[in-house]
Amino acid sequence: MRRANGRLALSLVLVLLGFLVVVQLRSQAADAGLNALSVQELGELVANLTTRNNQLRDEISTLQRQHDSVAAAVERGGTSAAQMRADLNRVLGWSGALGVTGAGVRVTVDGTLPGEEVEFLLNELRNAGAEAISIGDIRVVPGVVVTGPPGSLVMSGIPLAEPLELLAIGQTDTLGGSLSRAGGPIAQLAVRYPDVTVSVTGLDRIEIPPTDRNLQPVLGRPRL
């Protein structure tokens, strides 16, 4: 009896120990970074997370409608070909496999920048919610990277013509404001490259072509 009580006590302590180890490791990993942030940076982080969560809620609404539509079609003994086509077009357009048209901005770079600074602009456009981006006639998709020194930029093995022109579909004010804000990318580039001028123009209609890359993985396989 005494031995059984001892084992029970030992088990409880070990469970508590394991729990505390996990709590300690998780709190160290998550909070260490947050506690290094200033109040302003924390505010920016909260704004980013809020925006992302709102986008995720929109996506859930879309998927829920799609789910209900497909479920209703299946219940009727049929299929939802129209819904599947719409979903297919949405996924293809988003991924870059299909061209996209819509409102957005044209970013013109007068002067020469190195590849990493063009990537800096692309990253900023994505962060501002760009839904599709192209440079010249090349769609920016995963795997496409702008490289090279100023004046000799290459993208997907193709030399980029100057002046460089980036097109991005998205909310015009947000895209433009993100690039042009005080201390933003354009201001930073103006400091680093005084001879380069980056301008942003809002447009009601932009056409962004599909990628000519095959996006299908060759080596990877779906994980079940």
Partner 1 sequence: MSGLAARIRAIPTWQITLGVALLGLGFLIAAQLASEGPRTRYTTQERVPLVATALDLQAEQEGLKDRILALRASIGDLEATGQGGAAVTTDLGDQLQRARVASGLVAMTGPGLVIQLSDSTAPVPPDGIEREYLVSGQDVLTVVEELWLAGAEGIAVNGERITAATAIVDIGGSVLVNSAYVAAPYQVSAIGPPDMLDRLTRSAGFVDFIRGRVEMFGIGVGQSVSDGVDVPAYAGSVNLRYGRPAPSPTPDTGRGSPVPTESP
Interface of this chain with partner 1, residues 16 to 55, rule: CB under 8 A: 16-17, 20-21, 23-24, 27-39, 41-46, 48-53, 55
Residues 113 and 119: their CA atoms lie apart, in Å, by 10
d(CA 139, CA 215): 12
- Nearest distance from residue 71's CB to partner 1, in Å? 6
Among residues 106, 136, 162, 171, the one that binds partner 1 under rule CB under 8 A: 171
Question: Applying CB under 8 A, does 101 fall inside the site for partner 1?
Answer: yes
Q: How many residues does the chain have?
A: 224
Name the phi and psi angles at 210, rounded to 5: -75, 165
Rank residues 35 and 182 by Cβ distance to partner 1 and give the closer one: 35
Indicate the burial class of 191 (C-beta count within 10 angstroms; 0-12, 13-18, 19 or more).
exposed
Backbone angles phi, psi at 28, to 5 degrees: -65, -45
Name the minimum Å distance from CB 105 to partner 1. 11
176 contacts partner 1 (rule: CB under 8 A): no
Q: Which is nearer to partner 1, 61 or 110 (CB)?
A: 61
Q: Is 93 in the site for partner 1 (CB under 8 A)?
A: yes
What residues from 129 to 158 belong to the interface with partner 1 (CB under 8 A)? 130-132, 140-145, 147
Least distance to partner 1, CB of residue 88, Å? 5
Q: How many CB atoms lie within 10 A of CB 202?
A: 14
Among 121, 164, 166, 170, binds partner 1 (CB under 8 A): 170
Q: Of 132 and 200, which CB lies nearer to partner 1 in the complex structure?
A: 132
Q: Is the CB of residue 89 less than 8 Å from the CB of residue 98?
A: yes
> Distance (Å, rounded) from C-alpha 23 to C-alpha 211?
46
Q: Is 203 in the site for partner 1 (CB under 8 A)?
A: no
Q: By the 8 A CB rule, do 114 and 151 touch?
A: no
# chain residues binding partner 1, by CB under 8 A: 115
